[in-house]
Structure 1
Amino acid sequence: MGRMESMLEDLKTQIDILSKRGEVRSAVEDVQEVLPSSEEREDERTLPPLSDIFPIVDEYFSSTNRLLPLFDQIKFMQMLRGWYSNPDQRGSATWAAINVVLALGLLLQPHIDAGGELTVATLVKNAQSVLDEIVTREEDILSAQIVLGLCILFQESPDPQPASVLVATAVTLVHRLRLYSRSGQENLSQTDARQRDRLFWIAYVLDKSISLRAQQPPLLSDAWTDIDLPEADPIDGAGVVYSLQGTSKINFFRLRVQLGIIQGKVYDWLYSVTADKLLSAAKEQFVQSIECTLHQWEESLPREFMSNSILESAPPGTVQHLASLHWTYLHTSALIHRAHSHNQKWIQIILQRSAIVIDEPIRCAITCPQPSLPGSWSKLVSSSRACMKFWDSMLTYNEPLIWSTLCGRITGLLLLLVNNLTEPQHEMLVADQRLVEVAIQSLAPIAAKLRNRQFQQVYHACEELALKVRTLIERNINMASASEVDFLLPEVQFSSSLDETGTQPVLGLVQGLYLGHKRPEVMPINPSGEVMLQEDGVSLVINSAISGTALFSWN
């Protein structure tokens, strides 16, 4: 329209000039040739043959839409067939809705072969081209479905800003249609009322998820909501997933909505302006309350749908979505304890200490305390470990749902790295480091493409931490293989203290480490002196010249 207006202005100027020359008629004919007719504009809204797109549509409704019921399949298929059978009744909303469904089908089910001409980018561009017309038309369910579908699509793009704008538009439509209230459902069939409820909850989930990732206030208020949770076992089976073994089932949609409600509470109680004004004791109570609710949510999952089981138990077409559910759970849990990828201050403390751990391990043991680890640390680590195993078994760079779960993925990576640095002797160290290396390698092409300063900072911090842990593991392996070390140290502990006067050795107050090897024995140390034990070129130097401490170093 902008280009057409500019062309009209130019041609109007030409007409004014030509009119003075008696050539107005010719100029008007030129204008008519430039402007497209309404029939030509309609002809631009084309779709491939129905036989070409039907497999994509069918796959979308049998997988993605079954878990996140954006459209009613029967009504959509009637609309789709009407588009092809009645060309005179084609509308922009119908065309946009078909493009959205095709884009979602291709994006979330990348194994479908749609040929080179049908791409997600083209389909999204088609739907966007009529978006202004759709959102300003008379309120109806189809407009909300199109906008929410585009919001889901943009959630899976490197730039999250369009999704934020679209979810705001979707919330506006929710308010117009009064989807948040039962009062808007009078005189509706049960099917239509159920679809309205589902659209509200999809908008709710997107709103809470996007706001929490951006740490911005959500737009939908729980205080206004008068809608029941999605049914656990609806008549049409929407959201229901059975395990491959057939021994259990869940309702994915209901679980995702419940998790969205918890996400909303995390922001309201811990990250909002009001939360910032709370006393520490009140915040701690909120943390415990939300953590308990989140734990109950996880406990409601059958064993087959736990994070460490879904790769073996989830049916085809659902693994990515179930993995996304667990990534979201992990990120939400980390946000409760502020041990996540957005907490730059915490990451900086870890980086500072990691440098000392590697470069000066003995001084670190004496002068640099362990960083403050959040509550439920072991639970966070075990959840991270289970989720990080998804990296091994799934595609990454071209994986569906990679962008919407990126915060959870980076958080899981960070938590494993911090655990490896702070607990260098835990039994899962090598296995966890392998998960870390796979994740960093998989994130490399994303880091190259995503020009986001915060993501780049966190990614490079993870690279640096991974390098330090790698160095620590290699050093441990090398030193553990040296039998001379074991021969030298039958009676030596690796950190000690002198008494308060700094003149008498303390035999019992010995807490230290030698690259993670702990020993209970101690030996007397002469104050203000130096002791050296040497065997086959390996030397242990004990220096107690500093009052109150005894420093150990290896040569």
Structure 2
Amino acid sequence: MGGNHPPQRKACDLCYRRKIKCDGQQPRCTTCVLHNKSECTYNAASRKTPSRKQAEAQRLRRECDLQSRVQVLERQLSTVLEKVEKLERKQDSPSASTAVDGNEDASKVMCSGSGLPDLPPFEEVLPIVERYLATFNSVFPLFHAATLLQTVKSWYLNPHTRNVITWALINVVLALAHHTSDPGDWDQRGNAAAIYLNNVQSVLTEIVIRDTSLVNVQIILGLVILFWTAEDLRPALILIGTALRLAHGLGLHTRKSSQQCSPALALQKSRVFWMAYILDRDVSLVSRVAPVQLDSDIDLDLPPSEAEGDEDLVGFIFAADRHTKLNYFRARVELARIQGTIYQCVYSTSAQNQSSEQRASNAARIARLLEDWNARIPPAFYITALSSPSSPSVNHTCSELSRRRYLCILYSTTLTCRALISFANAADSFHYSEWMQRLQDYGGEVAAGQMASSHAPVPQGWQALADASREYMRLFETVKHRDTFFLRITLCAHNSSLISLMANRIFNAHDRATESDKHIIETAMHNLEITVRQTESERQRSICDAIKRLCSCADLISFQNLTLGKTSPRRISLPGSGRDSSGRSLEEGQYLQDDVTMPGGGSYWD
């Protein structure tokens, strides 16, 4: 205790700070006892004004510390200046100045003084960028082609004007080009997309916190596209929220922000916003998280239905007659609106508290929205016309190898929307795990020759979903070259179609018409197994195994019907069709004696 008692002060630290009289009791004074202190301490600094000698000593110590810091900074600055001077000499050397002209000894160029990783040579980058602009960007116009090409050329021709944002922009375009490309576009892509993605992520903080421009939003939306098809959608969710907040800061969601802009810039700002809108709605629906952008907060016209001039042809595709055209970009924006309505009616908190009648009414309303959307599509682009073996060729800016690719992606979204409202149940996952289990139980009992103890789990609007699934799978088969991006972005629609056709065979095993789906199912199963091997996804592997079990049930039931020659097959009334599965007319709510009915008069919503 003796070490805690300086002779010059009687009051303990607590009493000294509170400026109260200390009684000096040992081992604790009265104040320390009241405040439950373990002991009195005497270490607080004195409030007395230091003497001249003490003040001078403190000043000298501060000056000495300051001089030491200045010397350290001077050494660091000298080192940096030496590095900058070396880089400038290297940049001004003849070998560096000929980089754009194809000098192999100086084929890689570094952002001067930044220490950023090198970019590939100009002659390698330019064809990749042009290919991206002619394919994916032609239907999802995130970038203005002329502006982007000029930016890339300026990077190589004017090295002293380089900056981190431009470097990140070129990296994200290169990553998108490799990520969304068709097979065979380049011989060895390897993990190039991942390398460029990592480059952009390394400067993401600067992209977000710097003065916001349209390019910043484009870079972040490019990152969202790169994460669009990932199993873990959390990065995409975070990035799309960031992009839309930055877009709101620029006023991209309003006409007012473009009033003083040139027509070309105003058009590009509008396209960037609608790209963000599409990604927001799609990622939201897949992850079952509320979208960021509210429809009520948008004051922009939709992309035009008709083109005006060559510039406005971006986003359009043309039919074989070279006259009939479809604004693909506008059609996708309209689908995004429907996706937002589906989230509101299926996954939102208010939807989960609705009655079965309300959910059925919402599903019917969304089905009408999908039919209205389809009615606005020119007949030359109908899925039935495209999936027909004799359908005419579709010509657009994409290569011949991928001419149906983007239309298949478009229709995969409509199929997914239709499946979601048919299987809409808040307890189900996106791949309908609860319904799948009920279907497996039912199919297993029927295949075993037992009277099923549960009702057939026929969803609402089943026949329309089965027909749409059949047409979609036929269209899918016409896309002969399928890269990883295409397989992932269409995977949900592919699985939904496969499950629907498989279930249709179980529900209608006596109907010979369903046997025609067997070849489609076998081909689709083969495609799914290829996808599982390519993606190495355990989730998709488990889905594939579940579908295989359903396939075994369907095959066994079909075999039993063929070999046993049943004369009175069990029929299932299809909700909303007015007919049973054999085609006989039924009054609403009426079921045949042998029918397998569903609870509540045939509605899955109960």
State whether TM-score is above 0.5.
yes
8 Å CA contact 1:328–1:408 kept in 2: the answer is yes
Aligned to 1:108: 180
Find the residue that maps to 1:217 and give its secondary structure: coil
Output the CA distance in 2 between the equivalents of 1:117 and 1:256. Answer: 31
For residues 126 and 540 of structure 2, what CA distance do their matches in structure 1 show?
A: 39
What are the residue-to-residue correspondences of 1:512-523 with 2, within 5 Å?
none
Following the alignment from structure 2 to structure 1, what is the Cα–Cα distance between the partners of residues 533 and 124? 35
Matched, 1:322 2:410: no
* Secondary structure in 2 matching 1:250: strand
Cα contact 1:291–1:333 (8 A) shared by 2: yes
In the alignment, is the contact (CA less than 8 A) between 1:384 and 1:416 conserved in 2? yes
Counterpart amino acid of residue 423 in structure 1 = N
Change (3 A) 1:114 1:450: closer
| Aligned pair partner of 1:62 in 117, 134, 140 | 134
Q: TM-score, normalized by length of structure 2?
A: 0.69
Residue pair 2:408, 2:476 contacting (<8 A) in 1 also: no
CA distance in structure 2 between the partners assigned to 1:396 and 1:356 by the alignment = 40
Q: 1:283-294 maps to which residues of 2 (within 5 A)? A: 283-294=359-370
Cα-to-partner distance string for 1:27-61 (whole Å, 9 max, x where unaligned): x9899989995657635442222222222222211
Quote the RMSD (CA, aligned, Å): 3.3
**Cα distance change on mapping 1:405 and 1:165 into 2, 3 Å:** farther
Structure 1 gaps, min length 5: 1-24, 496-512, 519-555
Q: Deviations over 1:89-146 (max 9, x none)?
A: 1111111111222222222223211645782111212222221111111010000101
**Does the 8 A contact of 2:255 with 2:300 survive in 1?**
yes
Query: Does residue 1:305 correspond to 2:381, yes or no?
Result: yes
One-letter amino acid of the structure 2 residue matched with residue 314 of structure 1 = V
CA change 1:325–1:193 in 2 (3 A) is: same
Instruction: Describe the SS at the equivalent of 2:253.
Output: coil
> 2:444 maps to what in 1?
355
Q: Distance in 1 between matches of 2:164 and 2:271?
A: 24
1:107 counterpart letter in structure 2: H
Note if contact 2:423-2:432 (Cα within 8 Å) is conserved in structure 1: yes
* Equivalent residues of 1:57, 1:105 under 8 A apart: yes
Equivalent of 2:550 in 465, 475, 478 = 465
**Structure 2 counterpart of 1:78, which letter?**
Q
Tell me the distance in 1 between the aligned counterparts of 2:569 and 2:368. Answer: 41
Structure 1 residue aligned with 2:27:
none
Name which of 286, 294, 300 aligns with 1:213.
Answer: 286
- Assess if the C-alpha contact under 8 Å between 1:217 and 1:267 holds in 2: yes
Partner of 1:192: 265
Residue 421 of structure 1 corresponds to 506
Do the aligned partners of 1:201 and 1:257 also contact (CA within 8 Å) in 2? yes
Is the CA contact 1:388–1:435 (under 8 Å) kept in the aligned structure 2?
Answer: yes
Does 1:227 find its partner at 2:303? no
CA separation in 2, counterparts of 1:160 and 1:437?
Answer: 30
Q: What displacement does 1:336 show? A: 1.4
- Residue 433 of structure 1 is matched in structure 2 by 518
Once the two structures are TM-superposed, the CA of residue 160 in structure 1 deviates from its matched residue by 2.5
Partner of 1:140: 213
User: In the alignment, which residue of structure 2 is the partner of 1:243?
Assistant: 319
Q: SS at the partner of 1:143? A: helix
Measured after TM superposition, the shift of residue 435 of structure 1 is 1.9
Q: 8 Å contact 2:469–2:497 — kept in the other structure? A: yes
Per mean C-alpha deviation after superposition, the further-off stretch among 310-319 and 205-214 is 310-319
Contact 1:391 1:438 in 2 (8 A): no
Give me the whole-angstrom Cα distance separating, in 1, the residues matched to 2:221 and 2:186: 25
The question of 1:47 aligning with 2:143 is answered no
Q: CA deviation at 1:428?
A: 3.8
Unaligned runs of 5+ in 2: 1-70, 88-111, 571-580, 585-606
Partner Cα separation in structure 2 for residue 357 and residue 37 of structure 1: 78
1:428-477 Cα deviation digits (max 9, x unpaired): 43332222222222222543575767545433221210122223344445
Q: Matched residues in 1 for 2:77 and 2:267: separation?
A: 51
Q: 1:343-369, CA deviations, whole angstroms, 9 ceiling, x for partnerless residues?
A: 2221111011010111125x34xx554
Identity fraction in percent: 28
What residue is the counterpart of 2:226 in the other structure?
Answer: 153
Does the 8 A contact of 2:129 with 2:173 survive in 1?
Answer: yes
Give me the whole-angstrom Cα distance separating, in 2, the residues matched to 1:117 and 1:357.
48
Per-residue CA shift, 1:134-188, capped at 9, x if unaligned?
Answer: 1111010000101111111111334333222221221221222121122222311
Return the letter of the residue paired with 2:248.
H
1:42/1:256 CA distance change after superposition, 3 Å:
same
Task: Tell me which residue corresponds to 1:75.
Answer: 147
Deviation at 1:296, TM superposition (A): 0.8
Deviation at 1:422? 0.4
| SS of corresponding position for 2:487 | coil
Q: Is the 8 A contact 1:156 1:401 kept in 2?
A: no
Asked whether 1:370 is paired with 2:460, we answer: no
Residue from 483, 492, 510 that aligns with 1:398:
483
Asked if the contact 1:59/1:105 (under 8 Å) is kept, the reply is: yes
SS in 2 for 1:402: helix
Find the aligned partners of 2:478 and 2:372 in 1 and give their Cα distance.
28
Relative distance call for 1:461 and 1:49 in structure 2 (3 A) is same
Give the distance between the partners of 2:481 and 2:455, measured in 1 at CA: 37
Contact 2:339 2:417 in 1 (8 A): yes
Determine the C-alpha separation between the residues in 1 that align with 2:359 and 2:541.
31
Q: Alpha-carbon deviation of 1:88?
A: 0.9
Query: In the aligned structure 2, how far is the partner of 1:303 from the partner of 1:119?
Result: 40
SS at match of 2:260: coil
- Matched pairs, number: 462
1:260 Cα deviation after fit: 0.2
Native 8 Å contact 1:397 1:443 kept in 2: no
Cα distance change of structure 1 residues 64 and 159 upon mapping to structure 2, 3 Å threshold? same
Q: Find the partner of 1:204 among 256, 277, 280.
A: 277
CA spacing shift, 1:43–1:356, aligned 2, 3 Å: same
- Match of residue 523 from structure 1: none
Q: Tell me whether 215-224 or 274-283 shows the greater mean CA deviation.
A: 274-283
**Map of 1:279 onto structure 2:** 355
Q: Deviations over 1:216-269 (max 9, x none)?
A: 111111111111111112331121100134352110000000000000011112
Instruction: Tell which deviates more after alignment, 81-90 or 343-352.
Output: 343-352
- C-alpha displacement of 1:318: 4.0
Query: What amino acid is aligned across from residue 92 of structure 1 in structure 2?
Result: V
Could you say what secondary structure the match of 1:370 adopts? coil
Report the equivalent of 1:181: 254
Q: Which residue of 1 aligns with 2:57?
A: none
Are the aligned partners of 1:416 and 1:436 in contact in 2 as well (CA < 8 Å)? yes
Q: Which amino acid aligns with 2:114?
A: E
Q: Deviations along 1:262-287, whole A, 9 cap, x unmatched?
A: 00011112321122233333333322
1:103–1:124 contact (8 Å) kept in structure 2: yes
- Identify the range of structure 1 (335-344 vs 271-280) with the bigger mean alpha-carbon deviation: 335-344
